[in-house]
């Protein structure tokens, strides 16, 4: 398994949503900044993104949430598109091991 310690600790703070999250070693800890309720985050501030590389799959499982089938296709330039999209979320280094960003903490890549 890849060593994720080199990724450091990531912190996300959204005061308008009474939201503070800390990501470290593949675990996310969510905290409120005060006693108020933590509001639901809008999609653009999601902690986790599920990225599809296409909708082609020979298994055609009935429970598949992307409705993949053998007639589907694999998307072009996935890495370049994802890289460009992630550049839209700037990061700010607080110290050697701590950064802040609105980028997602975790990304799952599926078919």
Predicted confidence at residue 111, as pLDDT, reads 58
pLDDT band per the 50, 70, 90 thresholds, residue 78:
confident
Q: Tell me what pLDDT residue 12 has.
A: 85
Residue recorded with tokens 């501030």: 45
Q: How many structural domains is the chain composed of? A: 1
Retrieve residue 15's tokens.
């005061």
What is the sign, positive or negative, of the torsion defined by CA atoms of 34, 94, 43, 105? negative
E runs forming strands in 27-85: 27-31, 48-52
Q: Which residue has the higher pLDDT, 83 or 34?
A: 83
| Predicted TM-score (pTM) of this structure | 0.51
Contact, 39 vs 30, CB < 8 A? no
Residue 83 lies in domain: 4-110
């Amino acid at each position: 398994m890849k060593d994720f310690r080199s990724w450091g600790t990531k912190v996300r703070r959204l005061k308008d949503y009474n939201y503070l999250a800390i990501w470290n070693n593949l675990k996310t800890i969510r905290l409120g900044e005060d006693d108020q309720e933590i509001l639901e985050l809008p999609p653009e501030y999601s902690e986790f993104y599920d990225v599809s590389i296409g909708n082609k799959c020979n298994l055609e499982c009935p429970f598949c949430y992307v409705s993949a089938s053998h007639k589907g296709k694999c998307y072009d330039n996935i890495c370049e598109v994802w890289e460009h999209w992630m550049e839209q979320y700037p990061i700010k280094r607080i110290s050697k091991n701590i950064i802040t960003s609105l980028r997602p903490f975790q990304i799952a890549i599926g078919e």
